[in-house]
């Protein structure tokens, strides 16, 4: 433990699995009090248990980013439990694959509701809290390299993740006078259950074996492997810490060199 976030109060949406879980656990390792928000109740319970077993503080919250009242209730629960809020990680997201010409409108709308409008709601509700407190803070958004470069099967996802970068950059400028720093993290290929599911779907779309799809994906990464969730979480730790006190409006790419190869 390096105590980079000692005593800070953080809320993480989509905190039950994958990158979100890694962020929650790394924040706790660095001394933060973590509110774990997700619609996956069992996952939230498991993450909070793991944090507490290591001596950390964790608050389980059922948080649905598609429902404003759910976010407002989460905000109230964090304040009731910890007395303030310092760091917001808007991480909840979905990835529905499909070629744009074949994608049904319900899948398109679901993607935008969670990935874009859900983040807007979170940044607005929690951002108002940070401004009202008058002590600055951090708001971090999970975008993607898919928010910097589109690709086959990712039309809806890329559209939402591109938009997140614009939203975060706008909020960074708006909130700078209040000392609230807003940044995006853009992960590449990460070794998560979601990535495994995507590989299986791509295999179905293309008629290739899953192992072949994974091998082709890895070949696109100069470092020759997927990232671990902890490697992505470390970028969030940096942006939430005093080390990033002069960083705002940025998109931090963590992709093993994939984007520019």
Q: How far apart are CA 250 and CA 241, in angstroms?
A: 15
Candidates 3.40.47.10, 3.40.50.720, 1.10.220.150, 3.30.1020.10; correct CATH number of 9-188+230-254?
Answer: 3.40.50.720
For residue range 169-182, list pLDDT tens digits in order: 999 999 999 999 99
Q: How far apart are CA 88 and CA 141, in angstroms?
A: 8
For residue 257, what are its two tokens? 């060199």
pLDDT at residue 1 is higher than 60 = no
For residue range 36-53, list pLDDT tens digits in order: 999 999 999 999 999 999
Note the pLDDT of residue 187.
98
State the catalytic residue, choosing from 120, 154, 157, 226: 157
88 within 8 A of 66, measured Cβ to Cβ: no
The strand pairing partners of 11, in sequence order, are 35, 88
Instruction: Find the farthest-apart pair of alpha carbons in the chain and give their distance in angstroms, rounded.
Output: 55
Q: Does residue 260 have an active-site annotation?
A: no
Mean pLDDT of 198-207: 87
Percent of the chain surpassing pLDDT 90? 91
The end-to-end CA distance of the chain, in Å, is: 34
């Amino acid at each position: 433990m390096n105590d980079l976030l000692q005593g800070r109060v953080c809320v993480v949406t989509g905190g039950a699995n994958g990158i979100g879980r890694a962020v929650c656990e790394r924040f706790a390792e660095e001394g933060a009090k973590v509110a774990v928000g997700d619609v996956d109740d069992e996952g939230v319970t498991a993450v909070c248990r793991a944090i507490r077993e290591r001596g950390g503080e964790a608050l389980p919250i059922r948080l649905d980013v598609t429902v404003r009242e759910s976010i407002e209730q989460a905000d109230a629960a964090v304040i009731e439990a910890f007395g303030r809020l310092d760091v917001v990680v808007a991480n909840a997201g979905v990835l529905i694959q499909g070629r744009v010409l074949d994608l049904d409108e319900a899948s398109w709308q679901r993607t935008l509701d969670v990935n874009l409008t859900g983040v807007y709601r979170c940044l607005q509700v929690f951002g108002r809290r940070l401004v009202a407190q008058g002590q600055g803070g951090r708001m971090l958004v999970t975008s993607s390299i898919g928010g910097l470069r589109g690709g086959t099967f990712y039309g809806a996802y890329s559209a939402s993740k591109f938009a997140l970068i614009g939203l975060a950059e706008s909020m960074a400028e708006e909130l700078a006078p209040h000392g609230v720093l807003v940044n995006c993290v853009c992960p590449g290929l990460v070794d998560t259950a979601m990535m495994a599911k995507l590989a299986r779907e791509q295999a179905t779309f293309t008629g290739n074996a899953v192992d072949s799809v994974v091998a082709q994906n890895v070949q696109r990464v100069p470092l020759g492997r997927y990232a671990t969730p902890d490697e992505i979480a470390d970028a969030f730790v940096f942006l939430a810490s005093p080390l990033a006190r002069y960083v705002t409006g940025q998109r931090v790419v963590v992709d093993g060199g994939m984007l520019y190869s």
